[in-house]
């Protein structure tokens, strides 16, 4: 009996010892902050850290959230002590679409999947994918010949989906591309809205929205299953991502992926590989239309490269074009927040982050932090040239995340975005139309809310 009382007292003592980061008190967020939860969650995080410092903490319906903005603390969570962290519950909704794919899986299963998938993103593969990008951007340029106005956000969504679709399936996708893309859009939209809803019915409960989501997921999965079956029958040899996923043996266990693992990875690559790159490009064109002087500099860099023809090796001659994309992703990070859950209590920046809580790394706040960036709201690609980048903390710029879970497609994305930007800027000036109503829509990715309508002027 005495032992039990002692244990209880010890537990109460330990709880009292937990020193969470400073922040608003109470079970719910005060309205000063909660008003931003749906309207502009990026602003919510920005304000909390501005008001309470780099390790700010609050309770959200009883869940403790700690928002960290110090690069050293972020490095600790994402890299140095990453084995004590899983992805947070926020990612659970994505599992409805992506199952146990790379983005959503954990532990030794994730490690194995990453080991098998990594060689598919090596330099020689990316070089091969660059020809797909160039073919597809040519089609976009041809389509512009008969247009004076376009929604660049829609154009980029389409091209990035086709590029990753072809990188995965070479020629097999055909007419299925549009059906999969539509189903993916619908399911992502519904899943993202579930992420922002606190009380929701489980997916098995037949509400009209759930039925719509289940149907979209079903369509996608059955089409991808069909593609997997076809590839099993044909036996591979296409040299695309699908061949890698199907036939690469894990170097440690000698195992290959099962069909359902392949399906989860295919859906993960289709989703993670187009939405983000598309947003990065759409915001880049938007920023260039506001800064024609910078667009002219890009064009001046691209011009001599075009004389010999744009290809993968041109990339090394396009450093400024790349810096423009990097700077656009600083101001408009395509994924603006990543979150983790500690497995065991941990200490970050001198404060306790309890097990099962959420640690939020708000990429947007870090990218705009005046302690790490001069004139953080300004659009200045030069800050990414080698001279200005030297000495910058690696975890103060995180468009692709950091640590072992860093984006597997980062080099793919930079190759694709740079070639698309160079091709279009060389041929067209894109300017915002007077009717364009540009606004941010920060769900998990940072989309433009109403698209970005632009006029096209042939150079």
Tell me which residues touch ligand HEM (CB under 6 A). Answer: 87, 102-103, 114, 164, 268-269, 272-273, 276-277, 280, 334-335, 338, 399-401, 405, 407-409, 412-413
Q: How far apart (Å, rounded) are the C-alpha atoms in residues 344 and 201?
A: 30
Q: What angle do the packed helices 176-195 and 152-169 form, to 10 degrees?
A: 110
- In whole angstroms, the minimum distance from the beta carbon of 126 to ligand HEM comes to 10
CB of residue 22 to ligand HEM, shortest distance in Å: 25
With beta carbons less than 8 A apart as the criterion, state whether 177 and 223 touch. Answer: no
Dist CA 272 CA 296 (whole Å) = 31
- What number of CA atoms fall less than 13 Å from residue 24's CA on the CB side? 20
Residue number with CB closer to ligand HEM (56 or 103): 103
Closest distance between ligand HEM and the C-beta of residue 73, in Å? 15
- Beta bridge partners, 458, equal 428
**Which helix (H) or strand (E) is 241 found in, with range?**
helix 241-247
Q: Residue 154: CB partners within 8 Å, gap ≥ 6?
A: 451
Q: What minimum distance in Å lies between the beta carbon of 279 and ligand HEM?
A: 7
Backbone angles phi, psi at 262, to 5 degrees: -60, -40
> CA distances (Å), 87 to each of 341, 358, 459, in order?
6, 9, 47
Return the number of the residue (54 or 273) whose C-beta is nearest ligand HEM.
Answer: 273
Which of 22, 401 has the CB closer to ligand HEM? Answer: 401
Minimum Å gap between C-beta 399 and ligand HEM is 5
Beta strands in 155-236 (DSSP E): none
The encoded tokens of residue 426 equal 């060389």
Closest CB to ligand HEM among 70 and 429? 70
Residue 161 vs 428, nearer CB to ligand HEM: 161
Looking at the Cβ atoms of 281 and 298, the one nearer to ligand HEM is 281
Min CB(323)–ligand HEM separation in Å:
14
Q: Are 102 and 110 in contact (CB under 8 A)?
A: yes
Shortest separation between residue 114's beta carbon and ligand HEM, angstroms: 5
Tokens of 108: 């030794």
- Quote the DSSP letter at residue 445: B
User: Of the two residues 268 and 352, which places its CB atom closer to ligand HEM in the complex?
Assistant: 268
Written as six digits, the tokens of 249 are 């043996």
Shortest separation between residue 115's beta carbon and ligand HEM, angstroms = 10
Q: Of 166 and 221, which CB lies nearer to ligand HEM in the complex structure? A: 166
What minimum distance in Å lies between the beta carbon of 231 and ligand HEM?
A: 18
- Please, what is the minimum distance in Å from the beta carbon of residue 287 to ligand HEM? 15
d(CA 86, CA 166): 32
- The closest residue (CB) to ligand HEM is 409
Cα 68 from Cα 70, distance rounded (Å):
6
Query: Which residue number, 33 or 358, has a Cβ lying nearer to ligand HEM?
Result: 358
User: Where is 68: in which H helix or E strand?
Assistant: strand 63-68
**Please, what sign has the CA dihedral across residues 346, 349, 352, 357?**
negative
**Which residue lies nearer to ligand HEM by CB, 164 or 310?**
164
Q: What is the CA radius of gyration of the chain?
A: 23
């Amino acid at each position: 009996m005495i032992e039990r009382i002692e244990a209880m007292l010890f537990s109460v003592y330990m709880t009292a010892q937990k020193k969470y980061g400073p922040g608003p008190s109470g079970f719910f967020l005060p309205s000063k902050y909660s008003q931003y939860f749906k309207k502009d969650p990026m602003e919510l995080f920005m304000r909390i850290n501005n008001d309470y410092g780099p390790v700010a903490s609050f309770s959200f319906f009883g869940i403790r959230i700690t928002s960290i903005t110090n690069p050293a603390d972020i490095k600790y969570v994402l890299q140095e002590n990453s084995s004590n962290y899983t992805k947070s519950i926020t990612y659970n909704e994505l599992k409805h679409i992506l199952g146990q794919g790379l983005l959503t899986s954990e532990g030794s299963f994730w490690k194995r999947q990453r080991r098998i998938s990594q060689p598919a993103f090596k330099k020689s593969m990316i070089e091969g994918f660059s020809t797909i990008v160039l073919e597809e951007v040519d089609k976009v340029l041809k389509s512009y010949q008969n247009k004076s106005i376009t929604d660049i956000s829609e154009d980029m969504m389409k091209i990035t989906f086709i590029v990753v679709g072809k990188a995965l399936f070479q020629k097999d996708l055909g007419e299925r591309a549009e059906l999969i893309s539509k189903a993916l859009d619908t399911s992502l939209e519904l899943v993202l809205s579930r992420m922002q809803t606190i009380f929701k019915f489980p997916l098995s409960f037949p509400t009209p929205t759930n039925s719509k989501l289940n149907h979209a997921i079903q369509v996608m999965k059955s089409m991808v299953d069909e593609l997997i079956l076809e590839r099993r029958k044909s036996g591979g040899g296409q040299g695309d991502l699908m061949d890698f996923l199907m036939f690469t043996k894990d170097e440690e266990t000698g195992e290959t992926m099962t069909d359902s693992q392949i399906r989860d990875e295919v859906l993960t690559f289709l989703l993670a590989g187009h939405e983000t790159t598309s947003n990065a490009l759409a915001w880049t064109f938007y920023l260039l239309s506001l800064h024609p002087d910078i667009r002219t500099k890009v064009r001046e860099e691209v011009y001599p490269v075009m004389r010999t023809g744009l290809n993968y090796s041109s990339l090394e001659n396009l450093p400024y074009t790349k810096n423009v994309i990097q700077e656009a992703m600083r101001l408009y990070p395509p994924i603006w927040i990543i979150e983790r859950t500690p497995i065991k209590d941990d200490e970050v920046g001198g404060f306790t982050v309890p097990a099962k809580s959420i640690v939020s790394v708000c990429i947007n706040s870090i990218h705009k932090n005046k302690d790490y960036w001069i004139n953080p709201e300004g659009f200045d690609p030069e800050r990414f040239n080698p001279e200005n980048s030297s000495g910058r903390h690696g975890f103060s710029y995180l468009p692709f995340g950091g640590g072992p879970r860093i984006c597997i497609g980062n080099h793919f994305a930079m190759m694709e975005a740079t070639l698309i930007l160079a091709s279009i800027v060389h041929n067209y000036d894109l300017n915002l139309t007077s009717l364009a109503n540009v606004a941010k829509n920060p769900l998990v990715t940072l989309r433009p809310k109403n698209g970005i309508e632009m006029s096209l002027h042939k150079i």
